[in-house]
Structure 1
C-alpha cells in the first residue's frame, strides 16, 4: 500500500485518532479517551459502561458483545489506555501526532504498548459482525487505566468489585510484545515481582578512622551477593540458548541512598533491588537466602519489601485448556509461527491469573523492533492491519469454545 492508501484506510484512521489522545503519565485526564471509546462502541452497536473501581480519576470502559449462550463464562478482551512518559527531544516525530512516513511506520507513544491492541479488537469485531458471525460466549472489551503505573488503580481494584464478578469471566486476552522475526510470542505466565529495600545500619564516625562494622562494609557484602546472583542468571541465559528472558530471575540495583558529608562515616545506607523471579524458583528458600546474607554481613540490616508479589500459577497451554486449544488452532489456521513464553515484564494478566482466570498475553506484532517504552515508538501500518486479521480468527475461535 502507498502512504495515501494507509492514511485513507478507515481502521488506520481510528487507530491514529486513538494514538493522538495523550493519556500519558503522570496526572492523566482520561475524559477524551472515554469519549473516543464511547463513540467506538456506538459505531459497533455495543452497549458500554464506565465504572470507577478505585476513584473518579481512573475510569474503566467496558463494552459488551453478547453471545448466543450468555450463560457460559465470558471472555474479556483487555487493554490499557495509559502510556508512559516521553522525552520530546529524543523523538523525530511528535509522539502524539501519529505521523505516517513513506514506509508506513506510524510514530506515536502507545503504538506498540498497547493502543494498537485496543483498536484491533474493535476492528476484528467489526469484521466479524459484518460477516454475520455470532459468538456463543459473551465478550467484554475492557479498557483499563493505570497499568503502566502498576495497575493498582485499574485492574487490581476492578477485579475486586461486584461489577467484575457479575461478568462471569472465563478467559482474558491481553497484551504481549513485538518480535524481531516472523514469529509471534504468546505469554502464559509472569514472573514474581519483588522490590527489596535493605536498610543497613553500622558504626558511624570520622572518615579518617578504620571503624569496625560499618554500613559501607555491609553494603559491599550485600551488593556482592546480589550481583553474584545476577551474574548467575546472565550466565544461565548464555549457557542455554533455548531460554527466554522470562525463564530466569532478573536482579537489578535501582537505588542507593546514604551519607551526609564526605568525611563522615554514615550510620545508615539504603539500597534497593528490583527482582523479577522465575516461576520455577522456591520463593521461601530465596527469601531465607537473602536474610542469611544479611546475617553474614554482620547483622543490623532491616529488609523492607516495597513490593512482594505472591506466586501466581501459569495459564495452562496444553490440551487441558480448551481456550488454549482454540487459540492455538486459530494461529495454526493463520499459518504463523509462534512461541509460548513466560512474560519478562508485568501486565494486568497477573491479577486475572491470581484469581484463577486463564489469561493469555498476545500482541500480533512481528518483524518489528521492540520499542515498548522507547523513543520513536512506531508500528507499521501493514503490521497493524495484519493483526486485525489475526484477531478476527482468534476471537471467532475462542468465542465458540
Structure 2
C-alpha cells in the first residue's frame, strides 16, 4: 500500500501558518504493527522524490518525526537544516550517543523539537538541547500545561512551546495566556462562539449571489446586477474570464457571466467570497477549503449519481461556518441550499455525507475511519491517495491565482 504524506499546519499567535508537520499516511497507522522507522523513511522519500517540499510546505519549515534509531543512523543528513525541524519522539532512549548526535545536528543548524513532552529529570539533557517543546493538550490538563513551561525554562530559558491537539478556541486562548507561542490542532477550522454579530456589506453580497446561483433557474440579469454592485468582484470576474485558463477577451460583466455559465460561476464566485472573508481568519482556512473542494470534486464518480452536482462547491461550503462564525444550518437557509447537499453539510447524511467524512478522516490522519469508508465503497487506497496528492497540487495553483485578486 502506497504511503501518502499528510501535512498538519502549525500556527503562530496571529493564527498565521508558521510551519507544517509532515506525517505518514499508510496502512499500519495506529496498529501494533506500526513501524516508526519505516514511516519516517517513507515520509522523507515521498517528500523528496514524489511530492516535493515546495508543494507540501509552501516555503515554511517542516516538522518531521524521528526515532532515536534514525537519528543515530544519520538520516537527517539527507535534509536541509534550513527547512526541516527534527522532531524527537517521546519514546526515544536517552543516552550519550543520542545526545551527541542531536548536538551535532543542532550545530549544523537543525532545530530540535521534543514531541509529546512530559517533564522528568532524566530528560533534562534533552531539554537543554531543544529549541521547541510540544505539549499534548489532550494528555496534559489544567495547571500542568503551565508547570511544564516553568520547569523546562529553568534549564533552557530560550525554549519555545507549542500546544498540540488544540481542539477549541477556548484551548487556544488558554494556551496563549500560559505562554505558548505556537499551536497545532483543529481549532482554526471551527467557528468561534460569538453571542451577537452584525453582517458586513461584503457578506450581504455573498448571500445574495449564492441565493440566486442556487435557484433552479438563476437569472443572469440579477447575477449581473449583484456583480456590478461590487467593484472588486467585477474586477475579479473579468480577470478570471480573461485569464489564460479560459482564453477569452471579454469587456462586459454580462458576457463574462454567460460564458462562464452557472456551474463555473457558482464555483468561482464562492472562491472569491471565501478569499475576501478570509481577512480575519487564518490563511490555512482558505487552503483547507480549496483542498477539500478539489478532493471532493475528484471523487465525484464514486459518491455522486447526479452529474449536475458540483462537489467542488460542497467542499468549499464545508468550512463556511468557520468563516461566518455561525451555525451552518442557518447559513444554508440564507443561501437557499437544500436537498442532499444540506443533509451532508449539516449531519453528514447520505453518500455526500460519507464523502465529507472521508475527507475529514484524511485531514485528521484517522486511518481507521478512512479505511471504513474505503471498504464501504470498494475504493482502492492507492487511487484515492493519488487523487489527494493531485488535489493538493491543483489547490496550490488555484490559491496562487487568487493571491492577486
TM-score by length of 1: 0.23
Q: Which has the higher contact order (CA 8 A, sep 6+)?
A: 1
**Structure number having the greater helix percentage:** 2
Q: TM-score, normalised by structure 2?
A: 0.23
Structure in which a larger fraction of residues adopt strand: 1
